[in-house]
Each structure stands twice: as C-alpha cells, then as structure tokens.
Structure 1
C-alpha cells in the first residue's frame, strides 16, 4: 500500500514538472494552449505521470490564468506580466491547487512549488514563490 501511495505522489510531482514545461512553452510560443497540450513532448525518461492531474490543471489554468494573475497581483507588489515565465507558471500551478484542488493540502502545494522554483527558476525565485503562495494560501484557505 505504501508503494502505491508513493508511486502516486511521484507521478503527481512528475506531472507538475511537465505542466511547468508546458505552461512555459505556452507563454514563450504564443501558441494556443490546446495545441501546446496536444503537442507536448513527453520524455520517456521521466516515467509515468498523473495524466488526469496534468490535463485538468492545464485546461483550468489556460482558462483561468487572468483570474490567477489578478489574485497574485492583489497579494504582491509585482504585476504578473513582469514575472519571469517560469515563476509565473509556478504561481499558476500553485493558484490552481489552492483554488481548485481541496484534495491537496496547501503545505504540499507550497513545498512542491518551491521545489520547482529551486530546480527550474532563477537563483532566489523560490523565496518569492514561497512568500507569495504562503500569503495566497492563508487568504484562500484560512483553515488549511
């Protein structure tokens, strides 16, 4: 049972990484989100991902990114359009989980986002991601 749970956690983490890459590609290419999702490159070395999570997250984020950007702007001193595309994509993933996925605890959302920022973001971007999602988590889910 523990192995299955661990496997599911790892598949969700890998899905977040692929989601980050797809959201980055979407921002940089300017292509419509559906063609980005349809044509996403899957690296066979990454292993299985949580496809249901990936598809639901990508579809929701592509539809609600303006709402997510507005919420981020309300809680920070920076306009989302000025953010690095990697940071912005990580915040979109965090916002998706905080607003749409009550099955994922805010602490998990923040920790996963910080790990993505450490792996893919600029040197200290993880600090900004952590502080921003912490503020948003407290505002959106005051009871955790």
Structure 2
C-alpha cells in the first residue's frame, strides 16, 4: 500500500492506493514523510485538484473499498448521484429495492464509506432536506455541496 498527503480547501487528505486501486481517502490528515511517487496517486491528486477547482464533475479512478455486500451496494449507488444533486437516505434505500425503514442502515453504510468525495457520500441528506452526519464533519459536507451547487445550503 502507498499513501500520499495532499492539501485541499477542506483540509489535509491522505490518499491510499493498493494494487492499482484507490482504497481510501482520510480527512484531517497531517503531512508526514517524503512524497511517494506513484502514477495512480498522481492521477488521484490531479483529479481531486480539478474537482476542487470546479473543473471536474466525475472521477475516473479505479476504486476498491472493503466492506459488506450491503455497504458495497450503497457505495456503488453513491457513484451514480450526479454532481450538484442530492438524494435522501430513504431514497437510496428505495432505489436499491429496500424499504424506506432501512434508511438508518443506509446512513451507517454511507458513514463507513472509505473513499469520500470520489464516492460522493456528501450528496446524501436527511429526508427533511437538512444536512445530517458526515464522517468528515458537517462543515466539510457543506463546503463540498456548496462547491458543487452554490447557494444550496
């Protein structure tokens, strides 16, 4: 596994790649050590820079996240949510063929997403249209949503 730190408008991120796949992005990372040279890390960093500059709406990166089958279903769904749009936890549940009542399970899977931003868990909001929990903090979630759709929150 290789990692690299990068500075962004939402703070430091640590990028993790393994076997040619992006496996994790950590919030709140601090710089440490030397810059690791890796073509995929270069690509991830470039695409994130483009996203934060407003020049990229979709990520074209090979990803692999370790999780349960249910989590992987939710994470795959998250990648289909268009840039600048939001959905509710209940909508994710019903779109995946489940009852709205499992929206808490969807929220838990959303919160366990190891590849935020690229797998856009920030685009899922509460049924009342309000922001709910976010592993990176609601301030980061607000910043990401405002980047994609100014004036949304």
TM over 0.5: no
User: What TM-score results when the alignment is normalised by the length of structure 1?
Assistant: 0.29
User: What TM-score results when the alignment is normalised by the length of structure 2?
Assistant: 0.28
**Greater share of helix:** 1
Query: Which has more radius of gyration?
Result: 2
**Greater share of strand:** 2
More contact order relative to length (CA 8 Å, sep ≥ 6) = 1
